[in-house]
Structure 1
Amino acid sequence: MSNELYSLTQLEQTEDFVRRHIGPSESEMAEMLSFIGADSLDDLMKQTVPAGIRLTEALKVGESVTESQALADLKQVAQKNTINRSFIGMGYTDTLTPNVILRNVLENPGWYTAYTPYQPEIAQGRLEALLNFQQLTIDLTGLELASASLLDEATAAAEAMGLAKRVSKNKKANAYFVADDVHPQTLDVIKTRADMFGFDVIVGQETEAAEHDVFGALLQYPGTSGEVKDLTATIEALHNNKAIVAVAADIMSLVLLKSPGEMGADVVLGSAQRFGVPMGYGGPHAAFFATRDAYKRSLPGRIIGVSKDTRGRPALRMALQTREQHIRREKANSNICTAQVLLANMASFYAVYHGPEGLKTIASRINRFADLLATALVRHGYALKHSSWFDTITVLVDDKPSLVKVAAEKGMNLRSDLDDAVGITFDETTTRKDVMDLIDLLCGPEHGFTIELLDAEVTTQGSTSLPADLVRTTPILTHEVFNSYHSETEMLRYIKSLEDKDLALNHSMISLGSCTMKLNATAEMIPVTWPEFGKLHPFAPVEQAKGYQEMIEELSDWLIDITGYDAMSMQPNSGAQGEYAGLIAIKRYHESCGEGHRNVCLIPSSAHGTNPASAQMVSLKVVVVDCDKDGNVDLADLRKKAEEVADNLSCAMITYPSTHGVYEETVKEICDIVHQYGGQVYMDGANMNAQVGVTSPGLIGSDVSHLNLHKTFCIPHGGGGPGMGPIGVKKHLEPFLPNHQVIDTANTSQGNGAVSAAPWGSASILPISYMYIRMMGSEGLKKATEVAMLNANYVANKLDGHYEVLYRGRNNRVAHECIIDLRPLKEASGVTEMDVAKRLNDYGFHAPTMSFPVAGTLMIEPTESEAKAELDRFIEAMIGIREEIAKVESGDWDATDNPLHNAPHTLDDICDNDWSRSYDRKLAAYPVEAVARNKFWPSVNRIDDVYGDRNLVCSCPDMDSYREE
């Protein structure tokens, strides 16, 4: 045993989070630096990052702290939130997340670290859960086609307006009707979207909708103040005027109520939050969206469809892949490029766990509690605004401010934004005591009511709160999946069976360029499920959210320091939503200067597809700027086009480092040219992982950026969402940040409108980024950037000679990602980038980003979190695949009878008695020794996308179709 003594500092390093987050050890870094020809990380930065944009001062985030200290400190902050019993409603209710789902989905890295299912053969589990979500949506809404979730209810409503404009036969109309009993936050987001598109919004009573010349309308069911009424006549009248009708519906009410589809609705949307997803001060929550099959080409977001694999078995994948999941640039229906997959999965598992009978029990109990309170209040002399309701009653009161104040002091939050009335909404967490506390509050302590007497009265007299002609008569959730897993044992095994079909970060490196699949540390995730953060309603009084406000303010200050901007808005709940909000700020800034005519957006040809799609969302005209042979923005073309549109130049959208993975030397000049001609510079935040602590958007010269907190700042991708896309702006744009109709977010104009349903977006996942920054500290954040660049250059140099690295910057360096060109190999051998991607599955890896930003390439981003051993394993796989390509190229292997063409290989292949391929089974399944140590088996063979799109099925297939195969 060694007698060596260590210093206290050395002994404390066991708690060093920076060392845990960054994959390579110091000795491995030294080895890698030597291989690529750099003396140190600082030397690598000097070789790679242009001197004119390097930060000269350290970040002001502060010292790193240990996991235990950061958690303890944040717990103290969280406890400053006051968690009252919430009766506010307005589309947000408390819920009970089944523990089997809480532990095995929300808290499970097998579910939350997976990526968007672009490689469906290794994503069949989450695809099945999403298909269940679509089936759930179809059943409850009464429509034929559903998406795999949208960002929130208000965004879904705005997307419904866009769909209505696209498909309505009333082409000359430019107005959209919104019923006056739609949730106020929904109306707020719709008005913002309509303003950007140049639509007029008419708000009025639902019965007046058909009196106006509109291309579409939005109705609420039940209404925001609780009323349940038949919309059939209104929908029919609107249809007679060629309008498209959307209905925003409460998902739990649809368990008991006639579906809007049966009433004739063209679109039905809403939030699935109350199906087991905590309120979390506003999100993230999955919105559901259903429409008619005739409108499938206009449906926003992703659709999961049933296809078949090469063995003829049913297999799932994202359908209609030419649409939003691969953004169609300025021709896109919307800029939605993410979903709320993790939350949609939770909601679908909630429905699977409870089944139709369990959901009916929950919904009926909620409705009964509303009936009990209503009965007591009416007998006591109160007047109710409506005679029908599901979970919400609106009570007319004399002194509303006093009542709301007293209720809050007694630990109850009532809805307070209604004229001379309070709203009271019940949910599945409501107890008998809650009902009696409300009766005590409203009727005084001498009321004489008991739950038992009220229940007996309602039972005897019968409930009329749900109108008889609106009670659901059609069955729901008849598919076997919703009727099979009601014990915890069965549910646990079902969740596990799906998890085992998916490759996530807990299996292996996911080297997706531009998507930054880095460590989502457990310590960062723990606060998400604290009740102090999870149980707060987004419209609770701000004084009850002191913990949230303190955390958000400190996180904002850190992000301002990191970005070099002056202000930050946390409202956008995805990167695309952040782009949208940033472009709105630019547009409104120009209008404030009397230059509202500026409507041209310059975008490099290499840009993310969301960039031109977002520009289209704010009615900007896109002018594409060329890139030169080295992948950089062509300065001459930029200057020429900026000069040509000078009088109308609104902005330019750039990404830095470039989408090609290079630090462009001329980035400051790009900003100067745009500013010279009166434009603003929008910098896409996708590649911020190569800037933090080294440079910043503000220093470079941009005016606004969104930050992908689900990339650079460690919020996990969740299988395709949640995301978070706050925007940072320079001082002159601060007055034009989004605000909110219900809660004033301050530092901006109340008239700006909202871009998301909740004031601070998906607030409950902000603790993840907060914890990451706090534990890394100023130096750790900078080191993360440096090591991300080291890992990328190591991979690029190791693969060089086997593959062509397409773009390099100064001193032959790449930034945090590199692009390898497969086009020459494809031409010589016929092996495609798809073949390489699927063969990587056999080696146990998710493919890098395929055919973006250049067709026929793979973009690799290893991130700072991957250790050298994992990088070497990936490199070994890529070199092994190159050697396999060479055998096809030379003719040793047939063009189709080879492991690349047939990848990925499943256990069924290897066990097939009729194996007749020219290569052996071991090579197919275990191409290198490392694979045998931890084999991940794809659950299906390569999927036929063309068949799936030609035979579009987006609901759960009969279980017999699986059994037959």
Structure 2
Amino acid sequence: MTVTQTSASTTSEFVSRHIGPRPADVETMLQTLGYSSLDDLIDTAVPADIRQDSMLDIPAALSETEALAHLRALASKNVMKTQMIGQGFYDTITPAVIRRNIVENPAWYTAYTPYQPEISQGRLEALLNFQTMVMDLTGLPIANASLLDESSAAAEAVLMMRRANKKKAKGKTVLDSNIFPQTIKVVQGRADALGFEVEVADLSAGLPEGDISGILLQQPGNNGSIAEHEGIIAAAKEAGAMVTVIADLLALTMITPPGEQGADIAVGNTQRFGVPLFFGGPHAAYMAVADGLTRSMPGRLVGVSVDDAGVPAYRLALQTREQHIRREKATSNICTAQALLAICASMYAVYHGPAGLKQIASRANNHARVIASSLVAGGFTLASQSFFDTVVVNVENAEQIISAANEAGINLRKINDTQVGVSTDETTTSDIVKTLLGVFGVELSAPEGFDIPASQVRTSNYLTHPIFNTISSETQMMRYLRRLSDRDLALDRTMIPLGSCTMKLNSAAEMESITWPEFASIHPYVPAEQSVGWRELITDLEGRLTAITGYAGVSIQPNAGSQGEYAGLLAISGYHASRGEAQRNVCLIPASAHGTNAASAVLAGMKVVVVKTAADGTIDANDLDAKIEANKDVLAAIMITYPSTHGVYDADVRVVCDKVHAAGGQVYIDGANMNAMVGLAQPGKFGGDVSHLNLHKTFCIPHGGGGPGVGPIGVGEHLLPFLPGDASGSYTERDGVPVVATAFGSAGVLPISWAYIAMMGGDGLTEATKHAILNANYIAKCLNEHFPVLFTGNKDLVAHECILDLRELTAKTGVTAEDVAKRLIDFGFHAPTLSFPVAGTLMVEPTESEDLGEIERFIEAMITIRQEMEEVLSGVYSIEQSPLRNAPHTATAVINSNWDRKYSVEQAAFPVSGLKFDKYFPAVGRIDGAGGDRNLICSCPAPEAFED
């Protein structure tokens, strides 16, 4: 057969470096599949009636040099000033050892969520450090790792109080008026969607009347004051209400923590622990809770268990809490985290230790006291006499002061026409203080008074674990970070063939600009003229995503895929309400859909109705018709994933869309699998009304061990008025449109996706999609005789991923899909997606970035494992005695002189010859998950635990 050369050979140099298979490899793969050209394969796999009829209308591809030059030009349009705005965002110093060895290190930023804990011990230890740090500083016994941002974390706490407070579940939630305004807006948006009452009140005057499920306080408050919350907390408890405190972690080194004041929950941001401002995000939020609330807490929880040799080992605990597992019974739609940022924050605490953190906090507090004393001596009055780092000063003309400060190179916060906020931070210096005081026309005075009230001074210890007290030099820190990363498997070592998760190359050129100060040091609430470069980049990126998806517009505000789903469903609800059809609240969701779809629908106030899946993996047409008919007057939407979660292009997608539209509903197309459509099909053109995109999947933002992510939504013309509202003034705010996140969400990582799209161009993006489909079909073809591919489309082809069915083999041999996943570790591979969407299967997605050599290495590993399954079947050894059940094998296990297993050391550690030249050994053997859940330990174990 003659094979036509792929057009990738004529595309830009960057495209050829992003796409793994070389032209000769493509020829080999196409011959195996029986196609004469890549276009022939694509025309067969992708239904003709969804294909777009023109090339992508985006600018031509740039080279790496050109793209970086363009980003430099954009960055230079941002104006760097001293940021003293505060309001939840503070400048900080990222230690160079953390920036270089974590943020800019692919060993950390290309790692996946630690669902396979044996190959994730490094990042799990870092996240356990994070939890321990939060628990110690908040004075509460359990913390998660992590949540998305402070405002949405507060909203999660409100929902949690309503769930946990059974006696007052129908009571209202009371927000103290001294909370940051963006947080109040986010909480109010959640409440509006779910239909419960929220009251904003001055809680310093006592509780309002009526039944109250919970109250939300902030320490320090919006006006900077350190309030004595013990009285209102006691009153709330007496009234049967629960209490959440939004707490500044740095301040908690000096002031009494929420747990010691009787709070049930503490939430907040860890941004000022070495994470740049990033124009508002991504930043790792935290949640800590009192005893008895652990199983109700959203977000991921790292726990301590042991492996099969009794060695302490880390894992995600209580994974049945994961919201995508709970589906329509979910209590949150959070199924991701800001893992990379949480890791940075934890290492900031490790690097500085408790004494260093206290020193940083004390310095910021002292600068604030100097400012306050000098202002009072100069005749000004203050809004509060006790504060940590924020002084609110009464002035005659706030605009005049802010303008003068701007001229002096300082940004201040306008509270109202006669009040200005001044926030100090780690970067504040004596010279900055002198310049600021000059703006007010006052002289420098020594700090007198303004001490933290004695009743609020922290007396308890924190960060007492050795990990926070033994690493002080950069040499130690560098080696600690390297030691942890060596325990992990990330994309810098191996293909991560996770179906539905798209672990593709995150190129160095894409990553380079995010730590440039001109991007990283911009506060989200700076005047618009100081963020021109950011706004141009965002507008350009939204335009490119609009062209790619075929929608009328895009909002990048949602800071995770789950938040994109939520925002899209809120847009649909808003649209129906605007037409007088607010009763439309039923969301149809196929049984095979991503679990977060159902969770997001519940959170958006919708009723979930599940549609059956047919035997071939498509939506059951008869059940769909029946569900539409039964709900035609209340049908709000259907949520479908395309290509389907089964890795197939369903040929009837237009029919499904038409049926829902005919019944008055809207179509939500989950963009998690957009990697199989870019340049070939546009959801906005074949029936979708709204889609979210996962920029951390299709558009190259790395997973970072479980976050950050961005989940922008694209919508049709009729839904444009219902795109997410604004918490900062950065977007045009629309009445009745809920806020999803702060400002531009996780803006700090948007240059990654911009660079990817700019350097690929329309042709390159299309070629990437074609090669993703080629790689997946090649794996499916080569492995089908060993592990049957469960679902296929036209001519037995798949989309960008395939599901390998192990169920019959498991029935015959006892070898489970989990056994295969653990055995792949011995071959140096991260496992495919385990038992989703069908139990007992593996879902494989190689992405376009993997070359034929790496794909063949994976195929060899799977075939070898199949042979080992055959050895179990033939009785060479039982499943319990097999290398499959005893996998993975650590170095300690295989060098044991008392080796007595029925298979050889060589088979255990070097099952294929190539491993003798490049071998990864996991740090621990198979972990006892159930034991870890029974004996829940979620803080750093003592060093003696490892010695024992």
Task: Give the whole-Å Cα distance in 2 for the aligned partners of 1:744 and 1:259.
Answer: 33
The CA deviation at 1:750 is 4.3
Task: Provide the residue aligned with 1:754 in structure 2.
Answer: 739
The CA deviation at 1:718 is 0.3
Superposed CA deviations along residues 535-555 of structure 1, whole A, max 9, x for unmatched, are 000111112110011001111
Task: Give the whole-Å Cα distance in 1 for the aligned partners of 2:610 and 2:140.
Answer: 39
Task: Provide the residue aligned with 1:150 in structure 2.
Answer: 147
The CA deviation at 1:234 is 0.4
Equivalent residues in 2 for 1:627-638 (5 A)? 627-638=613-624
Task: Give the whole-Å Cα distance in 2 for the aligned partners of 1:131 and 1:351.
Answer: 12
Paired residues of 1:169 and 1:243 also in contact (CA < 8 A): no
Equivalent residues in 2 for 1:115-126 (5 A)? 115-126=112-123
The CA deviation at 1:468 is 1.2
Q: Secondary structure at the match of 2:786?
A: coil
The CA deviation at 1:225 is 1.3
Superposed CA deviations along residues 299-355 of structure 1, whole A, max 9, x for unmatched, are 001100001111011100000011126531011121101000000000000000000
Task: Provide the residue aligned with 1:787 in structure 2.
Answer: 771
Task: Provide the residue aligned with 1:513 in structure 2.
Answer: 499
Task: Provide the residue aligned with 1:956 in structure 2.
Answer: 940
2:627 to 637, 641, 662: 641
User: Is 1:194 matched up with 2:191?
Assistant: yes
Q: Secondary structure at the match of 2:554?
A: strand
| Residue segments in structure 1 that go unaligned for 5+ positions in a row | 1-9
1:176 to 173, 177, 180: 173
2:686 to 696, 700, 718: 700
Paired residues of 2:279 and 2:747 also in contact (CA < 8 A): yes
Superposed CA deviations along residues 258-288 of structure 1, whole A, max 9, x for unmatched, are 1111000000010000000001001000001
The CA deviation at 1:419 is 4.8
Equivalent residues in 2 for 1:488-887 (5 A)? 488-746=474-732, 749-756=734-741, 758-887=742-871
| AA partner of residue 903 (structure 2) | Y
Q: Secondary structure at the match of 2:268?
A: strand
Paired residues of 2:730 and 2:744 also in contact (CA < 8 A): no
Task: Give the whole-Å Cα distance in 1 for the aligned partners of 2:416 and 2:735.
Answer: 19
Task: Give the whole-Å Cα distance in 1 for the aligned partners of 2:370 and 2:443.
Answer: 14
User: Is 1:415 matched up with 2:400?
Assistant: no
Task: Provide the residue aligned with 2:458 in structure 1.
Answer: 472
Superposed CA deviations along residues 148-188 of structure 1, whole A, max 9, x for unmatched, are 11000001000000100001143353311000110111111
Paired residues of 1:627 and 1:633 also in contact (CA < 8 A): yes
Task: Give the whole-Å Cα distance in 2 for the aligned partners of 1:24 and 1:180.
Answer: 58
Greater Cα offset, 942-951 or 735-744: 735-744
The CA deviation at 1:409 is 2.2
Q: Secondary structure at the match of 1:220?
A: strand
Superposed CA deviations along residues 6-64 of structure 1, whole A, max 9, x for unmatched, are xxxx9x98971000000000111111111101111111111011111111100011221
Task: Give the whole-Å Cα distance in 1 for the aligned partners of 2:68 and 2:808.
Answer: 51
Change (3 A) 1:311 1:948: same
Task: Provide the residue aligned with 1:23 in structure 2.
Answer: 20
Superposed CA deviations along residues 862-904 of structure 1, whole A, max 9, x for unmatched, are 0000000000000000000000001101111222111000000
The CA deviation at 1:405 is 1.6
The CA deviation at 1:224 is 1.2
1:264 to 237, 257, 262: 262
Q: Secondary structure at the match of 2:610?
A: strand
Task: Give the whole-Å Cα distance in 2 for the aligned partners of 1:334 and 1:311.
Answer: 36
Q: Secondary structure at the match of 1:216?
A: strand
Superposed CA deviations along residues 751-773 of structure 1, whole A, max 9, x for unmatched, are 413111x2111001000000000
1:132 to 129, 144, 152: 129
| AA partner of residue 254 (structure 1) | L
| AA partner of residue 677 (structure 1) | A
Task: Provide the residue aligned with 1:5 in structure 2.
Answer: none
Task: Give the whole-Å Cα distance in 2 for the aligned partners of 1:259 and 1:941.
Answer: 38
| AA partner of residue 35 (structure 1) | T
Paired residues of 2:259 and 2:290 also in contact (CA < 8 A): no
Task: Give the whole-Å Cα distance in 2 for the aligned partners of 1:566 and 1:532.
Answer: 31
| AA partner of residue 267 (structure 1) | I
| AA partner of residue 163 (structure 1) | M
Q: Secondary structure at the match of 1:170?
A: helix
Greater Cα offset, 727-736 or 417-426: 417-426
| AA partner of residue 962 (structure 1) | F
Paired residues of 2:168 and 2:241 also in contact (CA < 8 A): no
Q: Secondary structure at the match of 2:199?
A: strand
Superposed CA deviations along residues 489-509 of structure 1, whole A, max 9, x for unmatched, are 111111111010010000000
Q: Secondary structure at the match of 1:698?
A: coil
| Residue segments in structure 2 that go unaligned for 5+ positions in a row | 1-6
Aligned pair count reads 940
Superposed CA deviations along residues 651-695 of structure 1, whole A, max 9, x for unmatched, are 000000000000000000000001010000001111000000000
| AA partner of residue 429 (structure 1) | T
Superposed CA deviations along residues 837-876 of structure 1, whole A, max 9, x for unmatched, are 0000000000000000000000000000000000000000
Paired residues of 1:283 and 1:762 also in contact (CA < 8 A): yes
Task: Give the whole-Å Cα distance in 1 for the aligned partners of 2:79 and 2:145.
Answer: 34
The CA deviation at 1:208 is 4.0
Task: Provide the residue aligned with 2:470 in structure 1.
Answer: 484
What TM-score comes out, normalization by structure 2 length? 0.98
Q: Secondary structure at the match of 1:863?
A: coil
Task: Provide the residue aligned with 2:930 in structure 1.
Answer: 946
Equivalent residues in 2 for 1:93-492 (5 A)? 93-171=90-168, 173-212=170-209, 213-324=211-322, 326-443=324-441, 447-449=442-444, 454=445, 457-458=446-447, 461=448, 463-492=449-478
Task: Provide the residue aligned with 1:42 in structure 2.
Answer: 39
Paired residues of 1:518 and 1:864 also in contact (CA < 8 A): yes
Task: Provide the residue aligned with 1:7 in structure 2.
Answer: none
User: Is 1:928 matched up with 2:925?
Assistant: no
Change (3 A) 1:689 1:209: farther
Paired residues of 1:582 and 1:727 also in contact (CA < 8 A): yes
Task: Give the whole-Å Cα distance in 2 for the aligned partners of 1:71 and 1:945.
Answer: 45
What TM-score comes out, normalization by structure 1 length? 0.96
Task: Give the whole-Å Cα distance in 1 for the aligned partners of 2:253 and 2:348.
Answer: 13
Task: Give the whole-Å Cα distance in 1 for the aligned partners of 2:83 and 2:897.
Answer: 61
